[in-house]
Amino acid sequence: VIVSKLFASVQTAVVGKGEIQLHVQAPAEVAPDYCSSFTHCSTKYPDAMTKWETFFKLLSIDHISNSDDTDLSKKYKILGLLWAAEEVSLQTASSACSERQKLYSSHEVRFGQGWLNSEAYVAAAHFHASIERSEKFMAPLPSRVLQESDRPPNIANLSAEENHALHIFGWMNSVNQLLGGSLVNLWQSAMCSPQAQEKGQGLLHDLILDPKFPGTSLMMTTNC
């Protein structure tokens, strides 16, 4: 995911001003799943690379300065393209690494699936990431790989915050699956304006970081 962003940023001259070429050498044992250049990635994972290229082109100074959109509209257009690219990249990475999931416990795989599912909610809310804000959401993630002997969300050597995060990610994914994917669809429909997206970001913050916050609030946030 990170490499695809870097290739696209160099290709669009956001990084390097068009004066550099970038190639990456992948470890031999995993080389078939990786790409080594912009052209290689665009051939191997065209959807993800197209979305990253579109995003970085929008970031060009000329494009932004010549737009008549309001600053708020520009911000959410940029965030929309950013998260569209992030979602496709994560789905692509998950599919590419599906065979390696067999090396992990069922609990670790389910956590990964739940975390991946949560990205759909974060993307729809156009989460405005920063190091400080991202750190808050990363802090309660499990500090180790989950084992088959673990019993989430009641793992003794994980913190209460880590166990809560495991519970929430698993719950969100399970409910969405039971509803045939409609919970994500309803949430995406509800995130229909910058104001709604701001409220959505606040709700996700409380849901993941506050153990006392009712999870049912997520299911009630389905109207624009």
Q: What is the dihedral of CA 161, 163, 164, 165, to 10 degrees?
A: 90
Q: What is the pLDDT of residue 141?
A: 95
Q: What is the pTM of this model?
A: 0.86
Residue 151 has pLDDT above 80, yes or no: yes
Alpha-carbon distance 105 to 116, whole Å? 17
Residue 74 has pLDDT above 90, yes or no: no
What is the arithmetic mean of pLDDT over 131-142?
92
Residue 76 has pLDDT above 80, yes or no: yes
Domain ranges of the chain: 1-102, 104-224
